Chain A
Amino acid sequence: MKLELRDITKKFGGFTANQNVNLTVEPHQIHCLLGENGAGKSTLMNVLYGLYEPTSGSIEIDGEPVTFSGPGEAMAAGIGMVHQHFMLVPVFTVAENVALGNEATKGVGLDLNTTRNRIREISDRYGFQVDPDAIVEDLPVGVQQRVEIIKALVREAEVLILDEPTAVLTPKETDELLNIMRQLRDNGTSIVFISHKLREVKAVSDVITVIRRGKVEGQVGPDTSTDELAALMVGRDVSLTVDKEPSNAIGSALEVTDLTVVGENGVVLVDNVSFAVAPGEILAVAGVQGNGQTELTEALVGLADHVSGSIKLEGQELAGRGVREVLSAGVGFVPEDRSTEGLVAPFSVSENLVLDRYKDREFASGPSLKLGAMRENAQQAVDSYDIRTGSVDAPVSTLSGGNQQKVVIARELSRPLKLFVASQPTRGVDVGSIEFIHKRIVAERDKGVPVIIVSTELDEVYALADRIAVFFHGRLMGIVPADTPRETLGRMMAGETADEVLPPAPWDDSHDQQQHEGTHTA
């Protein structure tokens, strides 16, 4: 089946997400859509899948124009999609999820046995190892993703769209997925692979279409160099590395000992973790999303319940304290999701900039706020952080993702800090803002502040880290130097400890002066 998109334009109000996009997916092909976050890749695919209606343009299958008023029609036409956020009902079994919308029936009743057999058949053919009767929420993400692929295959999809499928996977799971994609292609399914990760794109694609700001920037082969792809994707030459002097940090400002966080249901989210961070050092916490990093940061600022262990900042115990006490002890915190935790969307830029300081004398007299001082403060932040906004009184929700993130960073760095914790500081942020935010973080380090960065993007980890801590299933797999090879980190992210993956190298000695806690596993 040959799929063509012709002159697709999609507008949301005044914002053009896709402009005159042309794309042809040939049979037996892995076609990659490469572009930054927010370039319009997902919008395009949602148009193709019938979730959005294009403002103009047409879709053709084997030369025949088609229109989809909903995903049902797109599926009937042979298009399947694995969404970035899985579309699985967590409390259902695999079989129920696969059957949904495509149910086999026996009389008035549901016939799940037919579905179970189909799942086993597909699972055996591709080596998926999926149990049809497992409850989806109990499955690891990698397996959930296979359930999504099975859903598409059961519906006999000839074109399979994979939207950022590797974002939630370990490097090993990613390799497995890439193999599955090749296998599917060889069996006749065309694949549209949406990604912004250059390495994966080069590894698996037959054709690469680069999208920038909603427009097709060019079509290239997989042998194009990484630098060239990056330049096409971003629109200019980019250096993805951050200039920073090596850290000469000594001692420890933050000491975390035996930290354990237990979830409401008894799952140990952070498992007996101990580490220390020196003043003027960036400790980057790497790991696949959902391995305890979020809970670690929440525990550090006092947001988590069921915490045991000790968190000492310059000798002062923070564990068990409330959030306000922790913040006033000099901790700055950038939460992982700015829209739900970092900002109050309908509040203005200037209000958002004082969310943690509205009680200070600087901004309040008695029960009333000093609006003038707040505005002045905002103006300064806008100038020094290059926040692009029409006015400091504009609701923060009207800003782009990158500028919203700069508001959060500006607020957290505006106080004198003794510890800076940032979770996914550049998620969903354009490359220009990433460079800027990274520089600010390094500048904070150079002031002698201990910094903890949590990131699921290894590129970011390498760009910032002085040392790298790897988390897996809530456990600390070890702390390794910043020049540890990617493969080694990948193995640690999949559950091997530093002792297992690292040869007994001399680095232990050279770093002994600044790290005495070594590795720790449960």
Chain B
Amino acid sequence: MSTTTPAPESSNAPQEELSTAAANRTVGVRTFRPAIGLAILALVALILFALNAADGSVEFRLSDSGDAIQLPNLSVPVTAYGWVVTVALAALAVFAAVRARSLPRWALILAGFFFVTGFLVWIVGTAQTPSISVTALLAGSVALATPLIFGSLGGLLCERSGVVNIAIEAQLLFGAFSAAVAATVANNVWVGLLAAVIGSMLVSLVLAIFSIKYRVNQVIVGVVLNVLVSGLTGFIFATVLQPNAADFNSPARLPHITIPVLSEIPVIGPVFFDQSIIGYIMYVTVAIVWYALYRTRWGLRTRAVGEHPKAADTLGVSVNALRVRNVLMGGAVAGLGGAFYTLVSVSAFTRDMTSGAGYIALAALIFGRWNPVGALLASLLFGFASNLESILSFLGTSVPSQFLAMLPYIVTILAVAGLVGASRGPAASGEPYVKE
């Protein structure tokens, strides 16, 4: 699908500054991938959002009845907005076809905005009561994204130092399990939180030993761990937890904190400043991981070990020790995400309750290009998709719920398949480091 032509703006490399000149001349590689992707989106928009739109308007409620500040509701005519989206996406597709190369960031954001809002308006339009609370939609998205964010940050700590972590699912699940049991037995949620961290680190320890010390293929170890933890927790749940739920499986919940004033801000107040303590820990963790990765000695070494372990080794950085430490830290972070399930979301452990969130977290990590902020945003998008599904089933949409349930996974595939361009991961990820 790509061809080459010397673009007119290409410049010849200057011949005089030979020792410092940056090598060869470059031309644009013509690619029609973004144009085709956008054209498909425009077609979907045409068929669904414009031609199959419901009559009337949908209502987006910006404030709820109890709020201090009341904002008027936003009413959007469904058919008209469907046409707006179709035309906008078609225009972007034409723009991409004319450019014939990868798109600037603003165009991607614009395309994403139009498609997501177009979808939202269309699907809410199909509901029996076409009215939706924006606050509830967003707050639920953040809640559902929380374990994904912790999971992808945990994966990030592993992968940036060169260890592929497929076992995020196992870490979340074992964290959730450990938190439920420990919090019930000790009758203290904080013990539960600590147990989640330790339990998830145990999973990491196994991953570290097999993938770093014994150099077993990291993907295989990860998959095995996922199956192992699922089976183990499922077995203990069926034999111990279920019959004695009061003794082992009824943890209290972590405290919920509402920040005064800030939580009163319309729409974003309830979304960001009225949640469980683990939500606040999440924001702090993202900030810490970002700062540590890009601004500290540890971060420099971590990134070096993930890109070129031998270079780091020749400078006296102990590659495998650093990797082990990072994998354990990754487990600790993922464990916090696991605790969210049993100490915040529901007050009990159930079999396989993470239901694939670990894999979505992995996808968020890749979609977010191995960057903490990117992983945060990708996780929020996936959280939004899942939350939309549950809200719509409440509203009674005519779209079958099975299709809605597929939504987050379709978003994942589209995102990871590289509609937004190839992402370049750490060069040495997945490769064990062997000292000769």
Contacts and interface: CB of A to CB of B under 8 A. Distances in A.
A52 B19 contact: no
A184 B20 CA distance: 21
B317 A101 contact: yes
Given A264-B29, A267-B26, A522-B25, A103 B315 contact: no
B19 A142 contact: yes
Interface in A410-442: none
Interface stretch (B1-9, B38-46, B270-278): B1-9
B20 A129 contact: yes
Nearest to B295: A109
B295 A89 contact: no
Nearest to B307: A89
Interface string A197-218: 0000000000000000000000
Interface in A123-153: 129, 138-140, 142-143, 151
Contact of A269 (B6, B24, B312): B24
A421 B354 CA distance: 57
Given A87-B315, A89-B307, A110-B299, A262 B27 contact: yes
Interface string B12-48: 1101001111111111110000000000000000000
Interface residues of B, number: 44
A268 B6 contact: yes
Contact of A87 (B28, B29, B314): B314
A46 B2 CA distance: 45
Nearest to B435: A51
A100 B311 contact: yes
B27 A176 contact: no
Contact of A473 (B3, B13, B314): B13
B127 interface: no
B308 interface: yes
Contact of A266 (B12, B28, B303, B307): B28
B300 to A, nearest CB: 6
A267 B26 CA distance: 4
Interface in A69-110: 70-73, 75-76, 81, 83, 87-92, 96-97, 99-103, 105, 108-110
A413 to B, nearest CB: 33
A313 B29 CA distance: 28
A172 interface: yes
B310 interface: yes
A260 B10 CA distance: 14
Interface in A151-177: 151, 170, 172-173, 176
A101 B25 contact: no
Given A88-B311, A494-B18, A75 B295 contact: no
Contact of B311 (A87, A143, A494): A87
A60 B118 CA distance: 74
B300 A138 contact: no
Interface string A47-68: 0010110000000000000000
B296 interface: yes
A389 to B, nearest CB: 25
Contacts of B25: 267-268, 271, 473-474, 522
A95 to B, nearest CB: 10
A308 interface: yes
Contact of A92 (B4, B296, B307, B435): B307
A495 interface: yes
Interface in A499-522: 522
Contact of A71 (B2, B29, B297, B315): B315
B253 interface: no
B323 interface: no
A35 interface: no
B66 to A, nearest CB: 43
B72 interface: no
Most buried by A among B20, B297, B318: B297
Given A87-B310, A105-B297, A265 B29 contact: yes
B231 to A, nearest CB: 36
Contacts of A76: 316
A320 B258 CA distance: 66
- 8 closest A-B pairs by beta carbon, nearest first, are A72-B316, A101-B315, A87-B311, A262-B4, A103-B297, A306-B4, A89-B308, A266-B29
Interface of A: 46, 49, 51-52, 70-73, 75-76, 81, 83, 87-92, 96-97, 99-103, 105, 108-110, 129, 138-140, 142-143, 151, 170, 172-173, 176, 260, 262-269, 271, 292, 305-306, 308, 473-474, 494-496, 522
Given A92-B303, A140-B20, A173-B19, 8 more contacts: A49-B314, A70-B313, A71-B314, A72-B316, A96-B300, A265-B29, A268-B6, A495-B15
13 contacts: A70-B313, A88-B308, A89-B308, A100-B311, A100-B312, A100-B317, A101-B312, A305-B2, A306-B2, A308-B4, A474-B25, A495-B18, A522-B25
